[in-house]
Chains A and B, each alone.
Chain A
Amino acid sequence: EDQVTQSPEALRLQEGESSSLNCSYTVSGLRGLFWYRQDPGKGPEFLFTLYSAGEEKEKERLKATLTKKESFLHITAPKPEDSATYLCAAATISGGYQKVTFGTGTKLQVIP
């Protein structure tokens, strides 16, 4: 069974204090690893897709990396507006259809 595990569940950072969020995955045949940001009461907002080990993508203060077993979302010098829940998801193909398995998310709080 495909599994995606995120850690930590919650993270509290001071503004400017860099850190990383972890996403470990156990899936059959990874087609893509997605990162999303979700604000309370909203649908997830797409951030990145990573396809193969060694790949990196950046967007403002966020940088996502991928290995064969896990992905990291690095947040450099975070600001309060970066506070949100960050979800990762692994896409595979099952029975000819794309299947996406989500982790439970890391709730990030950045304190001014």
Chain B
Amino acid sequence: GAVVSQHPSWVICKSGTSVKIECRSLDFQATTMFWYRQFPKQSLMLMATSNEGSKATYEQGVEKDKFLINHASLTLSTLTVTSAHPEDSSFYICSAPYSGRVRTGELFFGEGSRLTVL
């Protein structure tokens, strides 16, 4: 099946530093990727939609300057948490729709990245 790889799996950083998370579609091309944030015992909250070759679309309430998204190629999207603070600590998950064989592309998820900001 379709595979989405996310790196790093976990990262610990000091407050004020920036952290980059990569999301790759390994065996299919993804013109669109989604970035989610998940708090303990809560559902996935969509942060932004990453579009290859154009600007990302952010959900209401998500700071564009805080969460920089770059969709560099058809298989790579990156999320950079800039000037991270403890409240940014969370589980970040990327996904890509596999539209090769279905009417609505099922979302395939990366393994997630656990960010802890000290």
Contact = CB atoms under 8 A, between A and B. Distances in A.
Contacts of B102: 32, 49
Contact of A34 (B32, B43, B106, B111): B106
Interface in B99-113: 102-112
Main secondary structure on chain A at its contact with chain B?
Answer: strand
Interface of B: 1, 4, 6, 32, 34, 41-44, 46, 49, 57, 91, 93, 95, 97, 102-112, 114
Interface size class of A (residues with CB under 8 A): 20 to 34
5 contacts: A42-B111, A89-B107, A98-B97, A100-B46, A105-B43
B1 A32 contact: no
Contacts of B112: 41-43
Given A31-B103, A31-B104, A44-B93, A102 B44 contact: yes
